[in-house]
Structures are given as C-alpha cells and as structure tokens.
C-alpha cells in the first residue's frame, strides 16, 4: 500500500514538473522557429551545426528552384528581377558558419532581439557583412522587433 502511494505521488510530481518545463520551453520558439533564447542554450558546436543547416537548406531550395522545369521561364525571370537570388537575400557571406556565430551571439546580447528567430538573426548579420545600406539594416531590424516583440 505504501509503495503504491509512493508511486502515485511520484507520477503526480513528474507531471507537475513536466508541465512547468513545457510551459517554459514555449519561450524558445516564435512562430515555430527557434529564437535567441534557444540560441543562448546552444554550445559552440551546436551553433555551427545550426548555421550550417540553414545554409544547406537554402542551397537545397535554390537548387530545386533552378532545376524545376515546371516553373515558367517568365516566373524565373521575375524572381531574378525581384532580387530573389541577390546575395544579401540568400543569407550568404564570405564568412563561414564558425565565423558568423560570434556575431549572432552579439546580436542576441541586445534584449530587444531575444524573440527574433535564429534564421532572421542570421539574415540580419549576413546583410551587415554583405554591406547592405544602413537604412535597409535599420528598417529590417525595426520590422523584426515589431514582428517578434518582447512580452
């Protein structure tokens, strides 16, 4: 009987703790994307892996778009004319993932940026290294802070 009570209480305590952990973990996501709070929990290797995954995902998408024969030539031309393939918009820089992570760390040191998803932080940092105009950088950051505000 005592063993059964101990087991029951243990299960109850487990679910109480699980609920509080789950509630806290929600803050690591914004619109289904990892944000600055999650970034701060990653070690250096995990950060490099995350950035590498972003880059490879972009390359995969671009390859699929360029190889897709079902996309009409007129649409592909419109995509090129709209700057879809512009280097700054593709999130690439001459720096490798390991070189970018300290700059993303610095981005997240600003408290107003903590809810911004990692992919957007990566884009902002890449735009800086690709010499985007200051006004474009400021406007992008302002838009991100409005879209992902601090609660």
Q: What is the pLDDT of residues 96-141, one digit of tens each?
A: 888 899 999 999 999 999 999 999 999 899 888 888 889 999 999 9
Q: What is the pLDDT of residues 26-62, one digit of tens each?
A: 465 555 578 999 999 999 999 999 999 988 887 787 7
DSSP H or E run through 83: none
What residue has token string 């107003």? 112
Question: Quick check: 119 and 54 in contact, CB under 8 A?
Answer: yes
Q: Structure pTM?
A: 0.68
71: its two tokens: 């996309």
117: its two tokens: 């998803």
């Amino acid at each position: 009987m005592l063993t059964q009570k101990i087991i029951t209480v243990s299960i109850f305590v487990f679910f109480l703790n699980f609920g509080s952990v789950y509630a806290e973990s929600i803050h690591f996501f914004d619109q289904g994307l990892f944000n600055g709070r999650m970034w701060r929990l990653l070690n250096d290797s995990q950060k490099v892996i995350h950035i590498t995954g972003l880059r490879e995902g972009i390359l995969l998408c671009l390859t699929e778009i360029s190889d897709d024969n079902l996309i009409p030539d007129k649409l592909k031309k419109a995509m090129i004319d709209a700057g879809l393939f512009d280097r700054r918009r593709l999130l690439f820089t001459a720096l490798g993932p390991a070189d970018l992570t300290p700059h993303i760390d610095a981005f997240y040191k600003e408290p107003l940026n903590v809810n911004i998803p990692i992919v957007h932080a990566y884009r902002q940092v890449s735009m800086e290294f690709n010499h985007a105009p200051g006004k474009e950088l400021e406007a992008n950051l302002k838009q991100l802070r409005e879209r992902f505000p601090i609660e």
